[in-house]
A and B are shown apart, each in its own frame.
Chain A
Amino acid sequence: MHLEYTVIEGDFVNAGSASSSIKKTLKQLNVNPSIVKRVVVALYEAEVNAIAHAYGGVVTADIDAGKILLRVIDKGPGIPDIEWAMQEGHSTASPEVRNMGFGAGMGLPNIKKNVDRLNVQSTVGVGTTVEMEVNLS
């Protein structure tokens, strides 16, 4: 099953709608609730990142019997130092993002904790792709 959603820069009101939709799909597929929670927490963090830090992008989900592969592909500005960004407490969030209860530098580390495989590719000036895989069984 392939699902695809568009995320728009700065659209905080709808931040999480892709994650919410994927959560409902996984529930319908009778995936274990603990696994569903890990998937949606990781995806939601990545979705908020694309809205808060990037110029929007696309969320895709590919679900098969054994796993879910999620990709959040944003349109820049890219992360100059991924290792730095992966450390807790490191953030470049704007005051607006912090007012929404995010931007504490916990997003990428929390994604890492919740997924089985994480791959972050980023090119400054081009964009970032966060690829997350979670085993469903």
Chain B
Amino acid sequence: MKLSEIAKLLNAKVVCGQDRLDEEQDKAFASDLMSDILTLGDNFPMIVTGLCTMQTIRTCEMGNLDIVVFVRKKKPTEEMIELAEDEGMVLMECDYSMFKACGLLWEAGIKPIY
């Protein structure tokens, strides 16, 4: 699914990485626990999270996870967006709950990694 379609599906605002919206992503992983995100090995899903701190961006940088959807109306700070831009990431802000966002993604055919 194209990232532009994902943004539309989630009614999300793309705050970083607008130039990558034609790219496809077919897998997602949802967690507020960064330690979980660091256990994904050679999988590179889109990350759905309600944890909106500098460490969310750092954790994704370490894991080469470069598409992040913030749910529950969480808004990344300027500093977070700046670091994400440096790393070439796509960041989206979504007002839906984690459950609703994941439900919509699942229904649209986005797969889990396990």
Q: Residue A50 at the B interface, CB < 8 A?
A: no
Contact A15 B58, beta carbon cutoff 8 Å: yes
Taking the complex as formed, is B51 at the interface, i.e. its CB lies under 8 A from any CB of chain A?
yes
Interface centre among B36, B54, B59, B79 (most CB of A within 10 A): B59
Q: A55: CB under 8 A from chain B?
A: no
Alpha-carbon distance between A110 and B58 when the two chains are bound, in angstroms? 17
Assess the A106–B39 pair: CB atoms within 8 A: yes
Would you call A101 and B35 a contact (CB within 8 A)? yes
Of the residues A12, A37, A104, A110, contact of B55 by C-beta under 8 Å? A12
Tell me how far the C-beta of B103 lies from the nearest C-beta in chain A, rounded to whole angstroms.
23
Task: Say yes or no: B35 contacts A44, CB within 8 Å.
Answer: no
Quick check: which of B10-18, B20-28, B61-69, B94-102 contacts chain A, the rest being far away?
A: B61-69
Q: Are A44 and B59 in contact, with the CB atoms below 8 A?
A: yes
Verify if B33 is at the interface (C-beta below 8 Å from A). yes
Query: Chain A binding site: helix, strand, loop or mixed by DSSP?
Result: helix
Does A15 lie within 8 Å of B55, measured CB to CB? Answer: yes
Chain A nearest CB, measured from B38 CB (Å): 5
Residues of A within 8 A of B51 (CB): 100-101
Per the bound structure, the CA–CA distance linking A34 and B63 in Å amounts to 10
Q: Which residues in window 5-55 of A have CB below 8 A to B?
A: 12-13, 15-16, 19-20, 23, 33-34, 37, 40-41, 44-45, 48
Instruction: Number of B interface residues at 8 Å Cβ cutoff, please give it.
Output: 22
Assuming the A-B contacts A34-B42, A37-B64, A107-B35, are A12 and B54 also in contact, with contact meaning beta carbons closer than 8 angstroms in the complex? yes
- In the complex, the answer to whether A33 meets B55 with C-beta atoms within 8 Å is no
When distances are taken between beta carbons in the complex, the residues of chain B under 8 Å from A33 are 64
Task: Determine the distance from Cα of A23 to Cα of B59 in the docked complex, in whole angstroms.
Answer: 12
Chain A residues with CB under 8 Å of B35's CB are 45, 101-104, 106-107, 110
A→B interface (CB under 8 Å): 12-13, 15-16, 19-20, 23, 33-34, 37, 40-41, 44-45, 48, 100-104, 106-107, 110, 113
Q: Which 4 A-B pairs have the closest CB atoms?
A: A101-B34, A16-B58, A106-B35, A44-B62
Chain B interface (Cβ within 8 Å of chain A)? Answer: 32-39, 41-42, 51, 53-56, 58-59, 61-64, 79
Between A and B, 17 residue pairs with Cβ closer than 8 Å are A13-B54, A15-B55, A16-B59, A37-B41, A37-B42, A37-B63, A40-B62, A41-B38, A45-B35, A100-B51, A100-B53, A101-B32, A101-B35, A102-B33, A102-B35, A106-B36, A113-B39
